[in-house]
Amino acid sequence: MSFLLTHLAIGVVAGVVVCLGLLALDVASLRTLLLGSDYWLIGFILLFGSVCGTFGGVAMAVAVMNLGDWSDHPDRDY
């Protein structure tokens, strides 16, 4: 369980960094659009939630796919 939570946290942090980068650079006027809206908080929650959820899921999936089995690494302690 800690293996998955660790990789989930790594993915979420990467998602936060990407979102902050998108907003800081105002890519495709995203920051301008969000801050000009009456529902800017919902927009930020949806942006961060979807990107962090996707990055976290991908990070966990990549970690699980890279585990392999005993025949791949006979000297590794599983």
Q: Domain extents for the chain? A: 1-71
Please state the rounded mean pLDDT for residues 26-49: 97
pLDDT band at 30 (very low <50, low <70, confident <90, very high): very high
- pLDDT score for 78: 58
* Cα end-to-end span (Å), the chain: 14
- The pLDDT of 12-19, averaged and rounded, is 98
The model carries a pTM of 0.83
pLDDT bracket for residue 5 (50, 70, 90): very high
**What is the pLDDT confidence band of residue 75, given thresholds at 50, 70 and 90?**
confident
Contact 51, 18 (CB under 8 A): yes
The whole-angstrom separation of Cα 65 and Cα 56 is 14
CA distance 7 to 59: 6
